[in-house]
Amino acid sequence: MEPTSNLVTRLRDILESPVTAPGEPGYDHDRASFNTLTDHRPQAIVRAGSAEDVARAVGVAGDLRIPVAVQATGHGMGLSAPGDSLLVDVRRLDEVEVDPDGRTARVGGGATWDRVVAATAPRQLAPPIGSTGDVGVAGYITGGGVSFLGRQYGYAADNVREIELITPDGRRRRLTAHEEPELFWAVRGGKSNFGVVTSLVLDLMPVSEVYAGTLTFGGGSAARAFHGFLAWTRTVSDATTSVAVFRRLPPPMDPHDRCELVVNVVHVGSASSGRRELAGLRALSPDDDTVTAHPVARINALIPGPTRPGAFVSASGLFGELDAGGADRILRAVGPGVVLSPGLIEVRHLGGHFSKAPATPNAIANRDAGFALYITNPAASAAHADAIAAEHRTLLTTLAPDLTGGRIPTFLGTSDVAPDAVASAYAPEGWVRLRELKRRWDPHNLFRVNHNIR
């Protein structure tokens, strides 16, 4: 057992929440992440049971100038809390309270979308959820949150009314368009740079059913289908959000080492309007088609995603408009002979309300992008993860003529920690403003285990 540090002693003196330290029972459980590339090794972990305890813990870390990391589910991009840090585990802050008349939900800073959907669906209301129900709401929203309802309702961060934040000085603050508006702007996009979100109030959407699912095109028809998909996106209304996913099938799954193309679609509306919108996609003759009507209660389980923890390496970018030449360049970049291990290369359709400025502005920028690129591959070891990251860099270089150079904060990857990579997720003037706010609110950069705004 390691000697108890000053931090651990002070935390145990003032917190009701459990604190674990290296070598103690529960420490390995508490530091584990869904993305096993993340290897948190902090000198203390607080399993926060209340916002007050988060505030007290951050206050102690501030006194001792100890960096603070935050974790909900560990679905993030593999950035690890170092040995001198404090890890605040927020997953017990998972309460969800729905106001059906006001169409809002107050959501704890550790709640997952699964919990939110379970509370909102019986009221025929939907939150601005992404592809996976087991992702944490606060982590997703502080990165923007690219929702499957997004072309209709914008980024998830555009649908936040209020945030309760524990700032680096250990104080509990309410942020709205009128209270601490600068910080409210910054936290919606600035990730965990400004403190710990202990709760937030979200707008809910009046959605009772969706027409959604997956169309799959085998290796032989994927190239033609991708061109058809891009042409189809130009015809759909804002009620339809979709993503085309290339899934590599190395031999023997596909003897020609091609990718299949999986198109995930969510249409907010009835089966009849959905069928009309999807006719152009179905005309491309998918090999498999699971798109059908679903009650809103299933909205967190429509898009297939990883269900078990694993090591995931990711990279991302943004495209402007993709023409036939751009589509061909993508197809060449993901074509046979590319040695990326089985993984996913996603092209998400943006536009619609993703492109519109929200009523209460936030730090999310690059809104003129037409499509988002997100690449993720499972890694078998740390060395393999490095090799995959190198392949991602090559892929991004190949696609550079079509990429805008911008990114979305939520998709910043393990390799995107350098200041210019983080800055690419913001507008130039937004980056200056974020840095000024960071200097003001977190002068000692306590919150630096993240895509850091230095």
Ligand X SMILES: Cc1cc2nc3c(=O)[nH]c(=O)nc-3n(C[C@H](O)[C@H](O)[C@H](O)COP(=O)(O)OP(=O)(O)OC[C@H]3O[C@@H](n4cnc5c(N)ncnc54)[C@H](O)[C@@H]3O)c2cc1C
Nearer to ligand X, 120 or 241 (CB): 241
Stretch that binds ligand X, among 12-20, 55-63, 74-82, 265-273 (CB under 6 A): 74-82
Nearer to ligand X, 104 or 450 (CB): 450
The mark string for 33-52 relative to ligand X (x by CB under 6 A, - otherwise) is x-------------------
Any idea what DSSP says for residue 112?
B
Query: Residue 411's closest CA among 449, 448, 451?
Result: 451
Indicate the SS3 state at residue 271.
helix
* Single residue of 37, 105, 196, 205 touching ligand X by CB under 6 A: 196
* Single residue of 22, 42, 74, 219 touching ligand X by CB under 6 A: 74
CA distance 112 to 73: 8
Structure tokens that stand for 407 in this block: 């990114």
The mark string for 135-154 relative to ligand X (x by CB under 6 A, - otherwise) is xx-xxx-xx-xx--------
* Single residue of 49, 305, 320, 358 touching ligand X by CB under 6 A: 305
Question: Is-cis flag, bond preceding 252, omega within 30?
Answer: yes
**Angstrom distances, CA of residue 412 to CA of 145, 155, 173, 207, 374:** 12, 16, 27, 30, 9
Stretch that binds ligand X, among 22-30, 73-81, 280-288, 393-401 (CB under 6 A): 73-81
Nearer to ligand X, 139 or 352 (CB): 139
Q: Is 364 an interacting residue with respect to ligand X (CB under 6 A)?
A: no
Question: Is-cis flag, bond preceding 309, omega within 30?
Answer: no
Nearest-approach distance from CB 387 to ligand X, in angstroms? 20
Q: Is 189 an interacting residue with respect to ligand X (CB under 6 A)?
A: no
Q: Is 204 an interacting residue with respect to ligand X (CB under 6 A)?
A: no
Stretch that binds ligand X, among 12-20, 70-78, 320-328, 394-402 (CB under 6 A): 70-78
Q: Is 31 an interacting residue with respect to ligand X (CB under 6 A)?
A: no
CA distance 70 to 73: 10
CA distance 439 to 383: 36
Indicate the SS3 state at residue 82.
coil
* Single residue of 80, 85, 159, 192 touching ligand X by CB under 6 A: 192
Nearest-approach distance from CB 449 to ligand X, in angstroms? 7
Count of chain residues binding ligand X (CB under 6 A): 31
Nearer to ligand X, 145 or 228 (CB): 145
Structure tokens that stand for 436 in this block: 């000024």
Q: Is 306 an interacting residue with respect to ligand X (CB under 6 A)?
A: yes
H helix intervals, 284-323: none
DSSP one-letter string for 111-153: -BHHHHHHHHGGGT-B----S-TTSBHHHHHHT----TTHHHH
Torsion sign (Cα): 404, 409, 415, 418: positive
Q: Is 157 an interacting residue with respect to ligand X (CB under 6 A)?
A: no
* Single residue of 17, 20, 43, 71 touching ligand X by CB under 6 A: 71
The mark string for 6-25 relative to ligand X (x by CB under 6 A, - otherwise) is --------------------
The mark string for 83-122 relative to ligand X (x by CB under 6 A, - otherwise) is -------x------------------x-------------
Question: For residues 400-419, which are near ligand X according to CB under 6 A?
Answer: 410
Nearer to ligand X, 43 or 112 (CB): 112
Torsion sign (Cα): 218, 224, 227, 231: negative
Torsion sign (Cα): 398, 404, 405, 408: negative
User: Using CB atoms within 10 A of its CB, is residue 117 exposed (0-12), middle (13-18) or buried (19+)?
Assistant: buried
Q: Helix 51-64 crosses helix 6-14 at what angle (to 10 degrees)?
A: 150
Q: Is 269 an interacting residue with respect to ligand X (CB under 6 A)?
A: no
Q: Is 197 an interacting residue with respect to ligand X (CB under 6 A)?
A: yes
Nearest-approach distance from CB 403 to ligand X, in angstroms? 18
Q: Is 448 an interacting residue with respect to ligand X (CB under 6 A)?
A: no
Question: Which residue, chain included where needed, has tokens 């524990």?
Answer: 166
Indicate the SS3 state at residue 411.
helix
User: Using CB atoms within 10 A of its CB, is residue 106 exposed (0-12), middle (13-18) or buried (19+)?
Assistant: middle
User: Using CB atoms within 10 A of its CB, is residue 172 exposed (0-12), middle (13-18) or buried (19+)?
Assistant: middle
CA distance 67 to 387: 30
Q: Which helix (H) or strand (E) holds 140?
A: helix 137-142
Stretch that binds ligand X, among 20-28, 55-63, 64-72, 231-239 (CB under 6 A): 64-72
Under the rule (CB under 6 A), what is the footprint of ligand X?
Answer: 33, 70-77, 90, 109, 130-132, 135-136, 138-140, 142-143, 145-146, 191-192, 196-197, 305-306, 410, 450
